[in-house]
Amino acid sequence: MAKPRQTIETTRRIPRQSRAAETVTAILEGAAQILETGGLAAFTTNTVAERAGVSIGTLYQYFTNKDAVLLALARREMEIALADVGRALGGGGDPSLEGRVRAMVRVIINAFRGRQRARKAVVQAILAQGIGIELMAPVAAFIAAAGAEVGSGPRPILPALSREQLFVMSRAMLGAIRAAVLEEQPFLRSRAFEDEIVRLAVSYLGSIKSDPGRSRTTV
C-alpha cells in the first residue's frame, strides 16, 4: 500500500474530455468488479487496470496511487447513496417523525444491497485504512441533519440534539445496518429488521424529547 499519504486529492488530472471521463469510470468500474469478485486481496493496481481495459500507466495517469482508486470508489458509492436518501426524504411521503425515519432507513439498507460483496469490500477496505471516518462523515451528517431538522422548524417536534446525541443516533443506526450487511444476516431486507431500526431511532428521539439531557448543540 506504500507509505500512507494523507493527501485527500485522489485524481491527478481533472478529466475535461469525455474520453478521459470514460477512462476514469472504466477504472472505477473495474475496481468495483475486482472487489466484488476477489475481495480486497485481489485488489492490485495491475489487476484493476487490466480489468478496466487500460494499461497500468494510464491508471496512474488518473490516480496518484492505489489508495486513491479505493477512495474514489468509496466516494462514488457514498454520493449515490446520499442522493438516494435525499430523493427519498424530498419526495413527499409520510411527514411524521416515524415516516421520515422509516424512509431514510429503507434507503440506507437498500444502498447496501445492490453489489453487496463489492460494497462490503469497500467498507472493509476503507475501515482497514482509517479513512472511514472521513467518508462516513457526510452520511452521518446527513442523518444528523435530518434528526436536527425534526427538532427545529416552526413547530419543532424535538429539541435540538447535542453533539453526542447526533453522534450516537447516526452511528447506532449505521452500525446496526452495517453489521447486518457485514455479517450477511438473512433478515437484512426483512420488514421486521426495518421496524426495529425505526424503533431504535424513534424511541431514542422520543426519550430525548421528554428529557433532553444536559448540553445541547447543533452540529
Partner DNA sequence: AATGAATGAGCCTTCATTCAT
Partner DNA sequence: AATGAATGAAGGCTCATTCAT
Select the span of 41-49, 72-80, 100-108, 199-207 touching DNA (CB under 7 A). 41-49
By CB under 7 A, tell whether 55 contacts DNA.
yes
Find out whether 174 and 143 touch, Cβ atoms under 8 Å: yes
> Quick check: helix, strand or coil at residue 160?
coil
Where in 60-99 is the site for DNA (CB under 7 A)? Answer: 60-62, 65-66
Quick note: the x/- pattern for its own copies over 123-162, rule CB under 8 A, is -xx-xxxx-xx--x-------------------------x
Query: H/E/C letters for each residue in 28-87?
Result: HHHHHHHHHHHCHHHCCHHHHHHHHCCCHHHHHHHECCHHHHHHHHHHHHHHHHHHHHHH
Work out what residue 65 binds among DNA, its own copies, none; the CB cut-off runs from 5 to 8 Å by kind. Answer: DNA
CA trace torsion 211, 216, 218, 219 (10° rounding):
-100
Among the listed residues 11, 33, 37, 58, the single contact to DNA using CB under 7 A: 58
Could you list the residues that contact DNA (CB under 7 A)? Answer: 1-2, 13, 16-17, 19-20, 22-23, 41, 43-46, 54-58, 60-62, 65-66
